[in-house]
Amino acid sequence: MKKNFRLFAIAFATLLIPTLASCGDDDNDGEKGYEGGSDLSSLAPTITDLNGNTLRIASIGSYTFDYDERGVIKGCRYSDSEKISFEGNKIVYTTDWDEYGTYTLALANGNLVTALNYIGEDRDEDSPEKYQGHLSFTYDGDNQCTGFSGTYVETYGPNRSGERGTHNYNIKQTNTWEDGNLVRCVLEVEEKESGVEDGKSISGHYKYRQTFEFQYGTRANPLRQMPDYIADRIGRVDDEFVAFTSCGDDLALLGLLGKGPARLPISETHFVEVTDVKTGESYSYNSSIGRSSSINIVLNSNGTISTENGTKYTYVSE
C-alpha cells in the first residue's frame, strides 16, 4: 500500500456492503450530525463473496485492519509506530514522532462518506506545525465516487530560527467513469503561501494539476472490489503537493467511498503539470510526466482480490 499518513483520503471501495445507497439529495441524513461527527461505534463493513459468504478484509501486505468481537472496525495499523483508531464519533491518527490528528465524518445512510473534517498537529518543538482541512465527496446514481472538493490550511512555526508561515490550498478532484470503470482522475490544487524565512517575507502562488488514467483488460471484477492502486487515487489528496490525509484510502478500503471498477485495471498513466502563477512558468514535477505503472491483480475463486502486484490480501469470516 502506498502510505503517507499525513494524507487524508479513503480507499478500497467495494460492492462489499449490500446496503450502500446513492448519495442523492435525499440520502444525506449523515450530514445532520456532521459538526460532531457521525457515530462510528457500530460501523462494521463486510464483503459478500461469490459463494454468499460474509468476509472482512484483514490485511493488505503488512497493513492490518482491527475489529472487535461484533465485527465493528476499531483501527488500521501500518506499523507499531503509525496507526489510526476509530473512537466513537471520530478517527484518531497517532505516530511515534509527535504527529497527531483527528477526523470527523459525515456518512450517508451509514455507509458512504459525504464529508470529512481534519484537525492535526506536529508537536515537534523544533518545527511545530498545525493542519486543518475539509473535503466533500460526491457520487453518481450507481454509488461511484465522482470526485471531492475542499480546502486545507497548514501553518508552521515559529521555529528556533524564527521561520513561520501558512499554506492555503483549494482542492478539487473529478473522477470520470465509463461503463462502470474509473478511467480518469483529475486532481487540481491551488496553493497560496506566505511567511517569514531568514527575516524576510516570502510568498508564493502555485497551481498543480495531476491526471491519472487507468487502462483495463477484459477480466471482470465480479465484486466491484476497489484495488488499492485505484483506492489511493480516488480517496486521497496526493502527498506530493499537500500533506492532508492519512485515513482516506483506509476508509475506501473499507467500502466507504462507493464501488470499485467493473473490470480489473492493468495499468495507470500519471501526468503532472505545475504552474508558478506569479511568474507564469510551468514545469513538470519530479520528472513524473507520462510515468506509467503496471497493475497485476490475481483473484481468489470466490471473487475477492488475492494479490495486487505481489502484495497479499487476507480476509476473515464473519
The answer to whether residue 10 is domain-embedded is no
Closest CA to 230 of 193, 190, 270, 199: 270
More confident residue, 260 or 84: 260
The answer to whether residue 17 is domain-embedded is no
The answer to whether residue 115 is domain-embedded is yes
The answer to whether residue 46 is domain-embedded is yes
Instruction: Tell me the pairing of strands 54-60 and 181-197.
Output: unpaired
Cis, peptide link before residue 261, omega less than 30° from 0: no
The answer to whether residue 15 is domain-embedded is no
Residue 239 has pLDDT above 70, yes or no: no
The answer to whether residue 224 is domain-embedded is yes
3-state secondary structure of 104: strand
Range of the domain at 254: 29-317
Tell me if the pTM is above 0.85.
no
Cα 19 to the center of its chain, rounded Å: 22
pLDDT recorded at residue 37: 77
The string of pLDDT tens digits covering residues 253-295 is 888 899 999 999 999 998 889 999 999 999 875 444 556 789 9
Split into its structural domains, the chain has a count of 1
The answer to whether residue 4 is domain-embedded is no
